[in-house]
């Protein structure tokens, strides 16, 4: 019986199903992030993968546009409640599955929700400290998803698009923490717990965790800047109204591609903020002991891809054009990965690489 067709009841997780969750299904739902997960030290792969799969399941629920925002919010609250239980309710998890499977176009996302009970069982098999860290980060991420649905409740299928902006800088900062910064914090804490050479970080763990938070915020802010045209057409403007007011713009103005030039100062402001966060990310990478090669590579790759994305964004003349995708070419990613094996041991070379990318960002 294949893992996806088995009768998934509590206590039935076997090695075949576990391997399917942590390999085939993980690869199916994580796309490029799977490379990062595979290069991690072996002792980190399972707890980080479990956290990722739980967050991906929640994100799938939050993003199922065919279901009303109210129902998605309610489902996320139920999922959050189950995360906090030592003995989650299979009946509740099964209702979540029934409510969303069949509504999804993505086959692997559908399988992920079908296997939700087994995923929770895999969570319960983690050590108590790992389980606590996984629960904390997934609860924080789902708090961000709920906040997102409550702040921007309109479905893109509602027939009316009225984009709403966050009001202030601190709301943007809080949002980037909830949906990404907390991952940097989790990554740091669980790495210190499992990677012996990181014992040197224990005396200053809060400092490194905060670098990790800023790392995550930088990646998320990059995503926000890249996705502005698409998000606007879903009624969402993550760039705060305070930024827009400085340039006498409204979210509606940003939906007009002809305003790309006049809105460029807004893009530049966002890029400056992201670059500041990437400086912290660079400090994070070079602070990792050189012998932690796998861990260095796992954090180096997303940082370099994020910086390259900022380079491309800064060079776009039609930033607000929803039809123009800003995506780092796969060929560049593969070349970057190959080059990274040659420079991963050298802080000097890593800093030089980051500096070249920053210098390629057009801020004029």
Cα 184-79-73 angle, rounded to 5 deg: 95
Read off the pTM: 0.92
Residue with tokens 């400056």: 272
Of 105, 3, 123, the closest CA to residue 55 belongs to 123
303 burial type by CB count under 10 A (0-12 exposed, 13-18 middle, 19+ buried): buried
Alpha carbon distance, N-terminus to C-terminus of the chain? 60
DSSP letter, residue 23: I
From residue 295, give the alpha-carbon distance in Å to each of 45, 71, 284: 11, 39, 11
Q: What is the pLDDT along the chain (364 residues), one digit of tens a residue?
A: 344 433 334 557 888 999 999 999 999 998 778 889 999 999 999 999 999 999 999 999 998 888 888 999 999 999 999 999 989 998 999 888 887 877 666 788 888 998 999 999 999 999 999 999 999 999 999 999 999 998 886 544 444 556 789 999 999 999 999 999 999 999 999 999 999 999 999 999 999 999 999 999 999 999 999 999 999 998 899 999 999 999 999 999 999 999 999 999 999 999 999 999 999 999 999 999 999 999 999 999 999 999 999 999 999 989 999 998 899 999 999 999 999 999 999 999 999 999 999 999 998 7
- Domains in the chain: boundaries: 9-129, 152-359
CB 115 within 8 A of CB 146: no
**Could you give the CA distance from residue 307 to residue 302 in angstroms, rounded to a whole number?**
9
Architecture in CATH for domain 152-359 = Orthogonal Bundle (1.10)
Of 146, 144, 148, 124, the closest CA to residue 135 belongs to 124
**Could you give the CA distance from residue 76 to residue 81 in angstroms, rounded to a whole number?**
9
């Amino acid at each position: 019986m294949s893992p996806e067709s088995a009768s998934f009841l509590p206590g039935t997780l076997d090695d075949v199903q576990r391997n399917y969750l942590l390999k085939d299904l993980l690869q199916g739902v994580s796309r490029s992030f799977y490379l990062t997960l595979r290069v991690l030290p072996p002792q980190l792969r399972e707890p980080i993968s479990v956290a990722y799969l739980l967050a991906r399941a929640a994100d799938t629920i939050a993003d199922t546009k065919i279901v009303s925002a109210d129902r998605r919010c309610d489902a996320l609250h139920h999922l959050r409640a189950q995360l906090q239980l030592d003995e989650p309710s299979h009946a509740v998890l099964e209702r979540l599955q029934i409510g969303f499977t069949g509504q999804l176009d993505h086959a692997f996302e559908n399988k992920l929700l079908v296997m939700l009970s087994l995923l929770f069982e895999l969570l319960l098999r983690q050590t108590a400290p790992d389980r606590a860290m996984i629960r904390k980060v997934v609860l924080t991420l789902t708090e961000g998803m709920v906040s997102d649905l409550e702040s921007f409740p309109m479905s893109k299928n509602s027939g009316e698009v009225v984009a709403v902006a966050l009001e202030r800088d601190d709301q943007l900062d809080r949002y980037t923490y909830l949906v990404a910064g907390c991952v940097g914090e989790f990554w740091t804490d669980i790495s210190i717990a499992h990677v012996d050479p990181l014992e040197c970080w224990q005396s200053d763990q809060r400092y490194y965790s905060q670098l990790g938070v800023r790392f995550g915020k930088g990646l998320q802010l990059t995503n926000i800047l890249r996705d502005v045209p698409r998000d606007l057409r879903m009624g969402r403007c993550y760039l705060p109204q305070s930024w827009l007011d400085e340039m006498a713009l409204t979210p509606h103005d940003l939906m007009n591609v002809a305003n790309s030039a006049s809105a460029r100062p807004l893009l530049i402001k966002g890029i400056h903020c992201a670059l500041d966060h990437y400086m912290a990310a660079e400090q994070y990478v070079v602070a990792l002991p050189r012998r932690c090669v796998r861990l260095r590579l796992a954090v180096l790759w997303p940082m370099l891809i994020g910086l390259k994305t900022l380079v491309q964004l800064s060079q776009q003349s039609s930033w607000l054009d929803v039809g123009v995708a800003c995506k780092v070419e796969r060929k560049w990613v593969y070349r970057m990965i190959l080059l990274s094996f040659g420079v991963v041991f050298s802080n000097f070379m890593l800093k030089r690489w980051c500096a070249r990318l920053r210098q390629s960002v057009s801020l004029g």
